[in-house]
Amino acid sequence: MRRRGFLAAAAATGAWALAGCDRPGADRATPPAPGQAPARPRPGSADGLPEGVTFRRRTLRLPDAGPVRHQILSVAPSAPVRVTAVHGARLDTAETVRAMADRVHALAAINASFFDIATSPVFSGHDGDPLGLHIEDGTLLSEAANGRTALVLGEGRGLGRITEARSVIEVTAEDAAVRRVDGINRTPGRVVGCGGTGGDVLAGTRGPRFTPAHNKLCEDPDELVLFTPEWGDRAARGSAEAVLAPDGRVTRLRTPGGGPLPGRGRVLTGIGDGAGWLRRHARPGTRLRITATVHDGTGRRLAAPGATVVQAGPRLLRDGTVDIDTGANGMPPTALTGRHPRTLAGITGDGTLLLVTVDGRDPGVSIGATLAEAAELMLSLGARDALNLDGGGSTTMVVNGRLRNRPRNAPGTPVRERAVADALVVLAR
């Protein structure tokens, strides 16, 4: 669907009203936080980034609306860098983008996926838990919200692609019993954002829900959820749990669940029928084999060795055309009209990766963007495919150790980095 946005506004006025700088290396960034030393420039382009990686800032003025300030990080396929996802020190706790970037010595970073946030009415108890598919360097750490849009990185020759993603996870016992694993690293029985496997019911209704429902809660009383060492110190509570050695051998069956995670092993936690399955088939000394496959909307398998995938949405562009699929991402029609800070990612025709943040909630300085305006913005920057990542108060861009946008939780609130679940980081090779 198309909406009057950046391109339409430019056509109507003949040109954009441009404030600030529009060139690689323009740097009027937010000063370092108190006590933080200024970042030292690195060899390379004018802004201290490697050749093929550029940073710029622009402010555009929409007629009858106001200014929209945004930051653009471009990563060419030839750049001597790698772009991947990282999470906080542990998956069950949120952390700022800057802290994550500092830990891995990233050249630049932006916030990535939606997450289970403590201020949400459907909060499930673990601030920082990524919602939807999260794969880091080939390791699956969170299951898909089936059908939602995803950014895939490191899959082949190009930097990335945008697609719709699904995951299937199964456990097979030594006695040949097979059962679906409902999730990875989340609270059993609570599927924030929905889009899970069979048995999920949208809270407050009676019917099953197989598709995403943004900012809604689905419930399932019969689940198996896998916990990995990246989650934290202890698995979430369940009726029973099988403690697994690295080779899948069951070292202990604990009732109730919620015990400590082994250093290199995993824990498979069950509730309802899931707990019953563990009691019948996860006998100590036997092995459980857990397999996972991830596919795009055409059935093509994703997550090649070393690949990274983060799921968010909605899609904004498909093959150079505006295609805002809010329905497939479980978002209501009203999502189209809301103007907010945005975090965006896109792929150009030559394979360049665009990472973009749009400031908002700052009247007279930057009003934010609707999804339609965000789509037109990405099109104007040369993207052929693009998607919306998590936005609002989570929108953050860090370059060379410094905050480059102005995140706000609400109009009139101070500029402050929000702790989030994960980030996309640009790493020197």
- Regarding whether 165 and 95 lie in a shared domain, the answer is no
Q: Which residue in 403, 400, 405 sits closest to 428, CA to CA? A: 400
Q: Which residues contact 340 (CB under 8 A, 6 or more apart)?
A: 360, 361, 368, 369, 391, 392
**Burial track 54-78 (b if 16+ CB lie within 10 A, e otherwise):** bbbbbbbebeeebbbbbbbbbbbee
- Regarding whether 354 and 286 lie in a shared domain, the answer is no
- Regarding whether 239 and 144 lie in a shared domain, the answer is yes
Residue 166 covered by a domain? yes
Q: DSSP assignment of 260-273, as one string?
A: BPPSS-EEEEEETH
Strand 223-227 with 183-184, pairing: parallel
Note the pLDDT of residue 305: 77
Strand 342-348 with 178-180, pairing: unpaired
- Regarding whether 296 and 243 lie in a shared domain, the answer is yes
Q: Which of 249, 281, 304 is the last residue of a domain?
A: 304
Which residue type, as a one-letter code, is found at position 21? C
Question: Distance between CA 250 and CA 95 in Å, rounded?
Answer: 33
Note the pLDDT of residue 206: 86
pLDDT of 139-167, one tens digit each? 999 999 999 999 999 986 667 999 999 99
- Regarding whether 218 and 148 lie in a shared domain, the answer is yes
Split into its structural domains, the chain has a count of: 2
Residue 19 covered by a domain? yes
Q: Which residues contact 298 (CB under 8 A, 6 or more apart)?
A: none
Question: Distance between CA 68 and CA 187 in Å, rounded?
Answer: 38
- Regarding whether 188 and 43 lie in a shared domain, the answer is no
Neighbours of 327 (CB within 10 A): 14
- Regarding whether 271 and 125 lie in a shared domain, the answer is yes
Q: Which of 279, 304, 329 is the last residue of a domain?
A: 304
Question: Distance between CA 362 and CA 349 in Å, rounded?
Answer: 33
Note the pLDDT of residue 48: 87
Residue 1 covered by a domain? no
Query: What is the model's pTM?
Result: 0.89
266 is written with which tokens?
Answer: 């995993």
N- to C-terminal Cα separation, the chain: 39
Residue 42 covered by a domain? yes
pLDDT of 208-254, one tens digit each? 999 999 999 999 999 999 999 999 999 999 999 999 999 999 999 99
Which residue type, as a one-letter code, is found at position 232? G
- Regarding whether 106 and 169 lie in a shared domain, the answer is no
- Regarding whether 88 and 188 lie in a shared domain, the answer is no
Q: Which of 304, 327, 342 is the last residue of a domain?
A: 304
pLDDT of 273-287, one tens digit each? 999 999 999 999 999
- Regarding whether 126 and 235 lie in a shared domain, the answer is yes
Parent domain of 179: 121-304
Question: Distance between CA 377 and CA 5 in Å, rounded?
Answer: 8
pLDDT tier for residue 6 given thresholds of 50, 70 and 90: very low
- Regarding whether 218 and 270 lie in a shared domain, the answer is yes
Whether the per-residue pLDDT at 30 is higher than 70: the answer is: no
Whether the per-residue pLDDT at 20 is higher than 80: the answer is: no
pLDDT of 80-97, one tens digit each? 999 999 999 999 999 999
- Regarding whether 73 and 126 lie in a shared domain, the answer is no
